[in-house]
A and B are shown apart, each in its own frame.
Chain A
């Protein structure tokens, strides 16, 4: 009712709004050029791309590109890797970040807490290019720190870690946590330190233990930001972190079985193999399923907890 009244009162075009159109103009144009036009470009997945004909001029080939993609085992492997890694990243990082934040918030020394916080944030300010170099300092075959330690302990220490599959799932999980957990923890800490002390005082008067305080006061206050982060992360569950999976692993073919994700696959198809058809089919698959994932995540959240849903 109220909204309808509002709408009738509001005139569609008013002279004093002209500046608003001008202000919105650059971003609208930008969104069309760099977001909506590429969205239209997704039709490429159903076409046989020819450079001379361009995206919109190339011939339709139906689902041929998808047939190619899904008849190989590639589609299964990259989907499994992408989802599995993301699930582990989300769960583990959340657990570690909340843990660190809770511990930081309880420290007696504020100075210590402040300095630790600064250290924890450091990796999130490094790019994957830098992290790649740091990782080689550890894993390099000839000089790397890991092989040096193995040699010191009497082993041969000549393993080329970029060719051995087994440790990589753990390495990737660790490296990702190393880079991202600290920042998350500090964000949660900021939320925790914003909680009014009244709650805790009341809890103490009622004889609540520290653990109970964390469980019934601190965590519920973190709920909102955690849920938002989860929705965003669920929406990105079909997106693999390219820097991690491509650069840090040295794009080593021997490791593809455990390191290849949708993004690296699409990139290789586009840049190295020139297989635009397959690449665009995988891209279409990623965009659409990712979109469904984010809608689903939001739907689930709005069922459980309507206040926390995004839209």
Chain B
């Protein structure tokens, strides 16, 4: 186990001891529990409402609106999603490509840079750090980025608009650099150098395998960020084949028509008639749920990495 893991375990144990020695009185514990559980309900119930609506029958929605206790349950929302969901499948595919490929490319590029700026005896490591850090303080803003991406790089309506502008995150590189400086012993580098290893060998053979925890953190940040990104799609993408999932949700928010016009059914008269009768609200909620399901199931297992990343970002040397 790496050092971080050990110190975490240790501090957890320390926390336990402290509790035995110095516990909150039962009365206060109860009060805190009640407040916290209430807060948790406020946090969680809005999502429950969306889940309930997605399983409500159209009939019930028409009569009683959105409630936590609908008069009738049904799977129509999901059934229709299966029928006219080609757009959903396309968007899912784009989002997966965006998240997986974008994250993999980004993490590699960022690790390389983090490795360079972590080299204390490289003459311009400070300058390179500032070159990166400055972009966290100052930026060109939306208008000029938009015009440059569209007019000069011609990225509009291509997959590259998803992959390129979001490739590097300055704060992620800083996290990685801090990780490299604090958790890989310098003696290891020296040993490798004495053995005649070049930087590439050290990077791929020594640094990468030892940085799994740091890489996982940054990769997860990136993955979730890209999975949840609706803005890039909203700004730059019109081609239905390239619309990411979250942007699709925004479009559905306006109207479910987007799903309908991009469905194969809209080509035939029968199909058109059927499309007219399709319920909208439970379908929209079903789409939402399908879009967030992977993250919702995965995050409880990975939350530790996110918290680590946040605390790591604030370590200073």
A residues adjacent to B (C-beta < 8 A): 10-13, 16-17, 19-20, 23-24, 26-28, 30-31, 33-42, 44, 49, 51, 54-55, 100, 103-110, 112, 116-123, 125-130, 132-134, 136-138, 140, 142-145, 147-148, 151, 178, 182-183, 186-187, 190-191, 193-197, 200-201, 204, 210, 213, 224-225, 228-229, 235, 242-243, 247, 263, 266-267, 269-271, 276, 279-280, 283-284, 286-287, 290-291, 294-295, 310-311
> Nearest-CB distance from B218 to chain A (Å)?
14
- Is A129 a contact of B246 with CB atoms below 8 Å? yes
Residue B145 CB within 8 A of the other chain? yes
Contact indicator per residue, chain B 136-154, by CB within 8 Å of chain A (1) or not (0): 0111111111111101110
Chain B residue contacts of A36, Cβ below 8 A: 135
Given contacts A11-B123, A38-B145, A145-B66, contact A103 B40 (CB under 8 A): no
Chain A residue contacts of B306, Cβ below 8 A: 121, 183
Q: Among B42, B142, B167, B173, which residue has the most Cβ atoms of chain A within 10 A?
A: B142
Give bound CA distance, A202 to B53, whole Å.
54
- Is B137 a contact of A295 with CB atoms below 8 Å? yes
- Is B139 a contact of A270 with CB atoms below 8 Å? no
Contact indicator per residue, chain B 115-137, by CB within 8 Å of chain A (1) or not (0): 11101011100001001110101
| 17 sample A-B contacts, Cβ–Cβ < 8 Å, listed by A number | A10-B123, A16-B198, A24-B113, A51-B151, A55-B147, A106-B28, A107-B36, A110-B16, A119-B43, A133-B288, A134-B47, A138-B49, A183-B306, A269-B143, A271-B235, A280-B144, A283-B140
Residue B261 CB within 8 A of the other chain? no
Chain A residue contacts of B8, Cβ below 8 A: 194
> Nearest-CB distance from A265 to chain B (Å)?
10
> Nearest-CB distance from B133 to chain A (Å)?
7
Given contacts A116-B37, A134-B46, A210-B24, contact A287 B141 (CB under 8 A): yes
- Is B135 a contact of A35 with CB atoms below 8 Å? yes
Give bound CA distance, A117 to B141, whole Å.
35
Give bound CA distance, A128 to B292, whole Å.
12
Residue B247 CB within 8 A of the other chain? yes
Given contacts A106-B32, A120-B40, contact A270 B14 (CB under 8 A): no
Q: For window 72-110 of chain B, which residues contact chain A by CB distance below 8 Å?
A: 109-110
Given contacts A33-B153, A147-B65, contact A225 B43 (CB under 8 A): no
Residue B285 CB within 8 A of the other chain? yes
B residues adjacent to A (C-beta < 8 A): 7-8, 11-12, 14-19, 21-24, 28-29, 32-33, 35-37, 39-40, 42-44, 46-47, 49-50, 53, 61, 64-67, 109-110, 112-113, 115-117, 119, 121-123, 128, 131-133, 135, 137-149, 151-153, 164-165, 167-168, 173, 198-200, 203, 224, 227-231, 235, 246-247, 249-250, 253, 281, 284-285, 288, 291-292, 295-296, 299-300, 303, 306-308, 310-311, 313-314, 316
Given contacts A122-B43, A128-B230, A178-B42, contact A27 B307 (CB under 8 A): no
**A204 is contacted by which of B21, B168, B228 (Cβ under 8 Å)?**
B21
Chain A residue contacts of B224, Cβ below 8 A: 125
Given contacts A104-B36, A119-B44, contact A130 B288 (CB under 8 A): yes
Give bound CA distance, A49 to B150, whole Å.
14
> Nearest-CB distance from B305 to chain A (Å)?
11
Chain B residue contacts of A28, Cβ below 8 A: 128, 131
- Is B230 a contact of A23 with CB atoms below 8 Å? no
> Nearest-CB distance from A210 to chain B (Å)?
7
Given contacts A41-B147, A106-B24, A129-B249, contact A26 B109 (CB under 8 A): yes
- Is B29 a contact of A107 with CB atoms below 8 Å? yes
Cβ-closest chain B residue relative to A179: B43
Cβ-closest chain A residue relative to B252: A133
**A10 is contacted by which of B121, B295, B303 (Cβ under 8 Å)?**
B121
- Is A190 a contact of B307 with CB atoms below 8 Å? yes
Give bound CA distance, A213 to B24, whole Å.
12
**B303 is contacted by which of A55, A138, A186 (Cβ under 8 Å)?**
A186
Q: Among A23, A143, A263, which residue has the most Cβ atoms of chain B within 10 A?
A: A23
- Is A148 a contact of B64 with CB atoms below 8 Å? yes
**A136 is contacted by which of B47, B199, B253 (Cβ under 8 Å)?**
B253
- Is A35 a contact of B36 with CB atoms below 8 Å? no
Chain A residue contacts of B116, Cβ below 8 A: 20, 23-24
- Is B64 a contact of A294 with CB atoms below 8 Å? no
Given contacts A16-B198, A27-B112, A291-B137, contact A55 B144 (CB under 8 A): yes
Chain A residue contacts of B249, Cβ below 8 A: 127, 129-130, 132-133
Q: Among A12, A126, A193, which residue has the most Cβ atoms of chain B within 10 A?
A: A126
Chain A residue contacts of B168, Cβ below 8 A: 27, 30-31, 34
Chain A residue contacts of B147, Cβ below 8 A: 41, 44, 49, 55, 276
Cβ-closest chain A residue relative to B19: A108
Given contacts A10-B123, A44-B144, A133-B249, contact A196 B14 (CB under 8 A): yes
- Is B285 a contact of A42 with CB atoms below 8 Å? no
- Is B142 a contact of A266 with CB atoms below 8 Å? yes
Give bound CA distance, A125 to B292, whole Å.
9
**A41 is contacted by which of B18, B24, B66, B140 (Cβ under 8 Å)?**
B140
